[in-house]
Amino acid sequence: MRTVFFKMVVLSLLSLSAMAQRKAPHVLIIGLDGFSAEGFKMAKHPNLDKLFADGVLSLTTRPVMPSVTLPNWTSHMTGSGPEEHGITANDWTLQKHTLQPIETDADGYYPSIFKVLKEGVPTVKTAYYYNWKELINPINQKYLDEVSFEEKDEYKENYQKAFDFMLKNKQNPTLTFLYSVHTDHAGHGFGWMTPEYITAIEQADIAIGALLEKLKTAGIYKDTHFLLITDHGGINKGHGGVSMAEMQVPWAITGPQIKRGGLITSFNSNKNTSLVVSKIFGLTKLPESWTGTVPKNVFK
């Protein structure tokens, strides 16, 4: 009897020790607007290549329709398409829109990953960094612990703020969304696949590389899941249509729970991002209105 009791005590202590040693999950979402699959193939991005070498990369992920900025970023953050969340154009506001969402919170917003996380993981810290002012309109900011907007397509201060936030909250679970629009504006200003557009991608890669080195030095890198996401590609100086140049984008992920799967061709959608983040944090209670899925060949 004493032997059985002793074994139970030992097992309990081991379980408590394992829980104490378990690292708080960190997720960093790196968003580059207008980053086409064609642009990914042409540009040089050694830091992104190194980051996702041990993870999964898709170059055939489908944006939602229309292939426009606000509908797609909202889909990333809400696990749904425009037919559910109701954002069909860049001029959407909470006060003025045509299509009603199929579900809202008490403030009238469609449920985002930030809301779901705050309700499912009370200790989580969330941050949102952006430089296109309309981007945050569909997100209820009461579920965000830190918000920063950087003007005139600048993004380096936000990259520093994202690092500071992750360092400050390294003992807490964190979801950090770090976005830049400068890649998209290079496409609109000079044309997709022009030298200026490719340079914008390569400049972003340099900034990402510097951020990753800081995370390594701070001891945060190994316990972090990294996602690379975008909204749409482009053709000539625009987007919004259904050409493959607009409707195929890169999507990548790496981290402790992710397979070393390399390039995958199985179906993936911008609607799936929040489902993937939810799985990383172990969330099981998700909004019934979410229509995304967890893509195949991603998790171990």
CATH class of 27-280: alpha beta
Q: Which residues of the chain have pLDDT under 70?
A: 1-22
Query: What beta strand segments (E) does 166-248 contain?
Result: 174-180, 224-229
pLDDT, one tens digit per residue, over 99-122 is 999 999 999 999 999 999 999 999
Q: Look at residue 217 in the predicted model and tell me its pLDDT.
A: 98
Q: Kindly report the pTM of this predicted structure.
A: 0.92
Q: What is the pLDDT of residues 127-148, one digit of tens each?
A: 999 999 999 999 999 999 999 9
pLDDT of residue 13: 38
> What is the b/e burial string over 55-94, where b = at least 16 CB atoms within 10 angstroms of the residue's CB?
bbbbbbbbbbbbbbbbbbbbbbbbbbbbebbbbbeeebee
d(CA 23, CA 281): 12
Which pLDDT does position 3 carry in this prediction? 52
pLDDT reported for residue 11? 43
Structural domain boundaries of the chain? 27-280
